[in-house]
Amino acid sequence: MKINKSILLAAIVGLSSFARLAAEPLKIGYSDWPGWVAWEIGIKKGWFKEAGVDVEFVWMDYVKSMEAYAAGKLDAVSVTNGDALVTGATGKPSVCILINDFSNGNDMIVAKGEYKTLKDLKGKTIALEEGFVEHLLLLKGLELNGMAESDITIKNTPTNSTPQVFASGEVDAIGAWQPNSGQALKLVPGSKPVFTSKDVPGLIYDGLFCDRDSVKTRRSDWLKVVKVWEKIAEYLANEDNTDEALAILSERVGVKPAEYEPLLAGTKILSSKEALKAWEKADGLGSIYGSTKVVDDFNVKYKVYEKPADVDSYLDPSLFKEVMDK
Amino acid sequence: MKTQTRSRWWVVRKELDPSQSSILMALSFILPLVIWSVASYGPWWKVAHQVTVSAESPRLQSIYSVGDRLAPSVWKEFSTAIKEDNEEILAARKSGQPQASTARQNKKIVRQIHPIATVNGWLTREQELADDSIRKTWIDLAEGKLKATKEPLTVENLGVVKANAEMLTKAGTDWPTEALLKLLPQSSEEVSRPVYLVPPGVVAVSFWQGITATKPDAGEAGAERKTLLQRYAESWRTIVLGFLLAISVAIPLGLLCGTYDFASKLAEPFVNFFSYMPAPAFGVVLMAIFGLDLGPKIMLVFLGTLPSAILMISKTTRSLDGSLLEAAQTLGANQRQLLTTVVIPGVLPSLYKDLRLLFGTAWTWLVIAELLGFKSGLAEIIDTHGRRFQFDIVYPAILLIGLSGFFMDQILAYLARFFFPWMDQPKKGFLSRFFSGRARILGPAKQPVTSTPEAPTASPS
Amino acid sequence: MIASLSYKDQSPAVKARFDKLKQRPPLLEISSLFKIFDSKAGEIVALKDINLTVHRREFMCVLGQSGCGKSTLIRILAGLETPSSGQVLVDGQPVTGPGRDRGMVFQSYTLFPWLTVKANVMYGPRMAGKDDFTNESEARQWLALVGLDKFENSYPHQLSGGMKQRAAIARALANEPRILLMDEPFGALDPQTRQQMQAYLLQIWKNVDITVFFITHDLDEAVFLSDRILVLDPRPGRVREIVEVPVPRPRSHDQLREPEFLATKAHLETIIHPEDTHAAPVFDKLPIGRMTDVGDDVE
């Protein structure tokens, strides 16, 4: 009970809001996106300890993790490049030091059986989390299909509640990522994805976005984190490890291993070679710079926030490159 | 009681005799249970297919696992898709250009036999990924060395087994490079209830497994490695700390407000206003101030309980019989003595009752509180498993909260008579009534077991 | 018939007693006392120009209908309310608030329920900071005086109404006040207990150096207990008459049928009118029905 008392005391005086000591572990928020669940491999296998870095991974709902980051409770948060801009514009800016993956089908707009394409959803209701990644995906999809946001009605729903909302039959479609979208598909017989991130590969990059000061002051620690990630990516690329990896990943989100396997295909985890290419400055969705720029323009156009962001300040390939050079 | 031939049940504002009361009090729990049972076990639920042998197909959006319950239409789509897959494979073989397949794809097909092999005792549960044993099972089965005792394979599937076993034998220790045939889905017919309607039997078993589990969430999906009881302890910690914090502020403030008009006028209007702002609305703020761990949870229980606690305690204090204060004044008590020797001892029993009620309401904040920041305690189970529609796990957690609140209140009510022997015998709580009533039914000669020990009588102690 | 006897006729013994009484020093002096309450309907005069002197060891009752300000008067004496004007002196000292020199017994039972009977009796001395050893032995004596020595460790809720009021009297006396203010203390008791309590009270009064100021609306009680009766008129509350009771002491309930007693009571009845006289039932127009169609005359 001694610990409780001290926690209580801390709660009363709000000590926790004071500056963290350097000796504290790096606090990293992560949520149920397969590319981030992959951190679990490093955690379970003790690779962080091996690398000599003290990290604490905090499992949270996606939006809550962004809120926690904005409130200064996390040193880094796992988000998409687009949502990092949103969080930066409304809460606290961050900088990406590593790319986990790009979404390759796991972000979906799932519609009831009677709608064959995104166009059929004209005038219908779609449940998704407003202002965040699935919203972006939907808007992009509408644009590609020559439609406008006003053609559909959006119901703001937390992503991990979308399966239930979809199952209730009150909406015609949902926007969600795996495993939520998969659950939705399973719950509503006949439903299918009408638009996925596979249709726009590279629109959604998923990365580790860190507190900018922390990257400066604790660069050596962050380098170690990047190194562990490269080890995880390498591990996942080897098919011999698939069974073990699936067991670890699926357990984290409460899905059966066999059901989790397809999710790995929908999330393109980047090998170090692929990552190096994505870090190259270029236009278009093949580069995280190009992708982030596209998303930024998009966000401004759709008034997610007012002013364009300084895209370059959100991206810092130097740590990744330093690890690669060694 | 012999003269009373027939007790009447419906009399306006008249208490029933103890045996009648006990029967009704038992019924008040039994009736909902009966309704629940009838609803779950009644003959009105459609039949669904519970998968016993599964398969995967690119034709399907979803992956169905053994144990899933499928509506007839989905089942049809599922079986048809696999059948078509097999037909394609056979057609390709016939044409002399067999489908190629990776080792992993074939491995997965072969592993699909594991669940039914477990049921029939050919493999153990742990051998899920033991590919060599699984391959041996296929071959043994094809050779007729194994016989299904519990769950037979269909004739079609035995054909698939034979065909695949041949290829597996041919490949030796390697995996065939040609696509194997898939086992056709099999299912048993099960009652298909809505997911939220979990029969009482299942909940009872799950509850029992939960509270007796010594290993953290054994065999359960989800990485949160704690037992139900550990979570339960977490919930208690949150609620007790939040509640203690709230009352340690509310009791002094409430006493002041109830005693001095000055304090009342200064504090109560705002507290009253504050009580209309729902505590959960401050969740985000609490996380920003107190972090993500225990802090915001305790503070939410604190914030939720505090305003009503202050208002309730001040009202209780104000309702203290004024003539007691006047009597004390005529006996020479000064202002300070009035507070310490009359107000405080005078309100204690009502205060205790208030705290009991407040503790009850504190439970209502618990679930919201535990979802702030890092989820914890019973609410984590309710939230996480609720989203996965695993209501057989959700209900025991909810039940545990309900039972805790209920019994805590009953116990505190019962203890009051020991704390305040100078009170008139308090109206007996449900528990003591129930048990004393039952004691009377079971053994008429026996003294009611829970009757109050007589408060100290005339004899000097 | 004894109709000729007036309540003013006092036997020589009684007369001598009153002469002696008036020789004693005044203990309570009330002069030109007014109490005015503000209400929505305007000012309400609760007490108007009350003047009264009560002598040491006198037993004084206050009688009057409801609304005559009896309770206001005793509360002013206790210091629980302040007069609008006028003065109250106890033992020559002006009353400014509640004080130990005036003990009070209320109609509602005001024993502290969380204290034993003994602790209740010890309450006053404790507040005055006296040492508990003395307090306890004195409390036992007071309880013996009111016949509750066997109940010293009981809690109030275990006592009957009469016992509670006896304990309340002991509690008031333990503070050694100069005057005992009693606000309809026996009002809630049943008639038998009430008579017992009256006898008890007179016993205590006889044995203790105390002046009693007793409010009641019961004529028998007033005549039985008091030396003098202050009769108040209602709305505004003012002194109607101060009656000297000609019933000799020591008193017993057998005296209830004696001529002095009856004469005094008859007089009090004439000066205390019941409030409404206009509610007498009208019998000439009865509702027609089985119940009012009376055949034979019972008179």
Chains that touch B (3 or more CB pairs under 8 A): A, C
Q: Cβ contacts (< 8 Å) between C100 and chain B: which residues?
A: 331-332
The confidence band for A226, taking pLDDT boundaries of 50, 70 and 90, is very high
Q: Which tokens in the block code for residue B296?
A: 């915001």
Lowest mean pLDDT of B201-210, C131-140, C281-290, name the range.
C281-290
Q: What is the pLDDT of residues A63-73, one digit of tens each?
A: 889 989 998 88
What is the rounded distance in angstroms from the CA atom of residue C201 to the CA atom of residue C222?
Answer: 13
Q: What is the pLDDT of residues B414-451, one digit of tens each?
A: 888 888 888 875 555 566 665 554 444 444 443 443 33
- CB A270 within 8 Å of CB A186: no
Angle, in degrees to the nearest 10, between helices B294-318 and B283-290:
120
- What SS3 state is found at A323? helix
Q: What is the pLDDT of residue A20?
A: 44
On the question of pLDDT at A21 being above 50, the answer is no
For chain B, give every residue range classified as CATH 1.10.3720.10. 228-442
Would you call B290 and A259 a contact, using CB atoms and an 8 Å cutoff?
Answer: no
On the question of pLDDT at C23 being above 50, the answer is yes
Contacts of B399 (CB under 8 A, 6+ apart): B203, B207
Question: CA of B381 to nearest chain A CA: how many angstroms apart?
Answer: 12
Question: CA of B304 to nearest chain A CA: how many angstroms apart?
Answer: 16
Lowest mean pLDDT of A280-294, B279-293, B307-321, C228-242, name the range.
B279-293
Mean pLDDT for C270-285 is 67
Q: Are strands C238-244 and C228-233 parallel, antiparallel or unpaired?
A: antiparallel
Q: What is the pLDDT of residue A168?
A: 87
| Touch of C by B (3+ CB pairs closer than 8 Å) | yes
Three-state SS annotation for chain C: CCCCCCCCCCCHHHHHHHHHHHHCCEEEEEEEEEEEEEECCEEEEEEEEEEEEEECCCEEEEECCCCCCHHHHHHHHHCCCCCCEEEEEECCEECCCCCCCEEEECCCCCCCCCCCHHHHHHHHHHHCCCCHHHHHHHHHHHHHHCCCHHHCCCCHHHCCHHHHHHHHHHHHHHCCCCEEEEECCCCCCCHHHHHHHHHHHHHHHHHCCCEEEEEECCHHHHHHHCCEEEEEECCCEEEEEEEECCCCCCCCHHHHHCHHHHHHHHHHHHHCCCCCCCCCCCCCCCCCCCCCCCCCCCC
A with B: how many residue pairs have Cβ under 8 Å apart? 102
On the question of pLDDT at A171 being above 80, the answer is yes
Give me the domains of chain A, ranges plus CATH numbers: 2-103+203-325 (3.40.190.10), 107-199 (3.40.190.10)
What is the rounded distance in angstroms from the CA atom of residue B74 to the CA atom of residue B71?
Answer: 5
β partners of residue A80: A206
Q: Is A153 on the interface with B (CB under 8 A)?
A: no
Q: What is the pLDDT of residue B443?
A: 44
Which residue type is seen at C260?
E
Q: Which residue of B292, B299, B389 to mutate against A (max A Cβ within 10 Å)?
A: B292
Task: Give CA separation, B74 vs A159, B69, B70, B188, in Å.
Answer: 25, 10, 6, 14
Give me the domains of chain C, ranges plus CATH numbers: 1-101+181-272 (3.40.50.300), 111-176 (no CATH)
Q: Return the CA Rg of chain C.
A: 22
What is the rounded distance in angstroms from the CA atom of residue A252 to the CA atom of residue A118?
Answer: 32
Question: CA of A167 to nearest chain B CA: how many angstroms apart?
Answer: 11
- The complex's ipTM? 0.87
Nearest chain B residue (CA) to A193: B61
What is the rounded distance in angstroms from the CA atom of residue B221 to the CA atom of residue A243?
Answer: 16
Contacts of B230 (CB under 8 A, 6+ apart): B216
- CB B394 within 8 Å of CB B195: no
- What SS3 state is found at A23? coil
Question: CA of C165 to nearest chain B CA: how many angstroms apart?
Answer: 13
Q: What is the pLDDT of residues B329-388, one digit of tens each?
A: 999 999 999 999 999 999 999 999 999 999 988 988 998 999 888 888 899 888 888 877
- CB B296 within 8 Å of CB B290: yes
Q: Which tokens in the block code for residue A153?
A: 């009605």
On the question of pLDDT at A113 being above 80, the answer is yes
Which residue type is seen at A314?
Y
Cis peptide before A262 (omega within 30 of 0): no
Q: What is the pLDDT of residue A36?
A: 95
Q: Which residue of C95, C132, C155 to mutate against B (max B Cβ within 10 Å)?
A: C155
Report phi then psi at A27, rounded to 5: -100, 120
Task: For residue B446, count other CB atoms closer than 10 A to its CB.
Answer: 10
Mean pLDDT for A12-23 is 45
Query: If you classify domain B228-442 with CATH, what class do you get?
Result: mainly alpha
Q: What is the pLDDT of residue A12?
A: 46
Nearest chain C residue (CA) to B329: C98
